[in-house]
Amino acid sequence: MEQKKEYKFSEITYKILKEISNFDQVRSQDIFEEWFNFHYEIDVSDKKYLKGLIEANRYNISDYIEYQLLAHFISPLLHKVYFYGKNFREWFQPELSGIVNGKILKGKPDFMVASGKREPKKPFFFLQEFKKQSANSDPLSQLTAQMAVAMEINKSKEIKGAYNIGRFWFFIVLEKINDKKYQYHESKAFDCLDYEHLKQIFINLKAVKHKYCNLISNVNE
């Protein structure tokens, strides 16, 4: 029996992703309309918190290494969103593995929302690659691979995620067309040092928590 090829998420580039399966980009951002129009009222405390994050990081974020970006900006933002619900919670660098198109993919996603109490079960959302802005990396390809594994675990046809490079955030929707073909949608860039953009990032994450995670976890659990 032929041994399955094995790939680590952290090593995946666009070239490797094409070897794993067929991943096509959809040249339209219409799919984000419902997601990004989630109704969430930003109150006075939210506004103060988000503006405080901007001011605390405005002049340093471009110089942050990965850990500093996580500690100073991303983790406080995720804490404010509070990805905890009846049937799901947040996980930092959990073990994840699965088979996509006959290839084994495994590693530790930077951040994942999934069902489970002491260990993750079904993944619902990923945030990948807390990279320094000038770092040489391919967060989109790594994120896409993780999301493909999640769809195999969940036996689903769609999943949402996001990646960031320094101050810029991008949201992703991955769809499974068949066993050998996927397509992904990438949003416009959001600059987290711009208050209106950060507010939209916050609302997008709240939508994941209140709408999509609750919906999927209630169906799956």
Please state the pTM of the whole predicted model: 0.93
Q: What number of other Cβ atoms are within 10 A of residue 18's Cβ?
A: 11
Domain that holds residue 50: 6-220
Quote the pLDDT of residue 4.
83
Q: Is residue 1 part of a domain?
A: no
Do 129 and 164 meet the contact criterion of CB atoms below 8 Å apart?
yes
- Residue for token digits 């994941």? 208
pLDDT digits (tens, 9 = 90+) for 36-72: 999 999 999 999 999 999 999 999 998 888 889 999 9
> Which of 109, 127, 113, 105 has its CA nearest to residue 172?
127
Instruction: Provide the pLDDT confidence category of residue 216 given band limits of 50, 70 and 90.
Output: low
Please report, in angstroms and rounded to a whole number, the separation of the first and last CA atoms in the chain: 36
Q: Cα dist. 23→99, 180, 184 in Å?
A: 15, 9, 7
Instruction: Provide the pLDDT confidence category of residue 128 given band limits of 50, 70 and 90.
Output: confident
Do 127 and 164 meet the contact criterion of CB atoms below 8 Å apart?
yes
Residue 191: left if φ>0, alpha if ψ -120 to 50, beta else—which one?
Answer: beta
Q: Is residue 153 part of a domain?
A: yes
Instruction: Provide the pLDDT confidence category of residue 219 given band limits of 50, 70 and 90.
Output: very low
Residue 133 has phi, psi (to 5 degrees) of -55, -35
pLDDT digits (tens, 9 = 90+) for 185-194: 999 999 999 9
pLDDT reading at 29 higher than 60: yes
> Which of 119, 84, 122, 92 has its CA nearest to residue 210?
84
Averaging pLDDT over each range in 73-77, 132-136, 137-141, which range is the top one?
Answer: 73-77
Q: Is residue 88 part of a domain?
A: yes
More confident residue, 62 or 23: 23
91: amino acid identity, one letter: W
Bridge-based pairing of strands 22-25 and 6-8 is: unpaired
Quote the pLDDT of residue 86.
85
Instruction: Provide the pLDDT confidence category of residue 131 given band limits of 50, 70 and 90.
Output: low
Quote the pLDDT of residue 214.
67
3-state secondary structure of 106: strand
Quote the pLDDT of residue 135.
55
**Average per-residue pLDDT in the chain?**
91
CA distance 220 to 154: 8
Quote the pLDDT of residue 130.
67
Structural domain total, the chain = 1
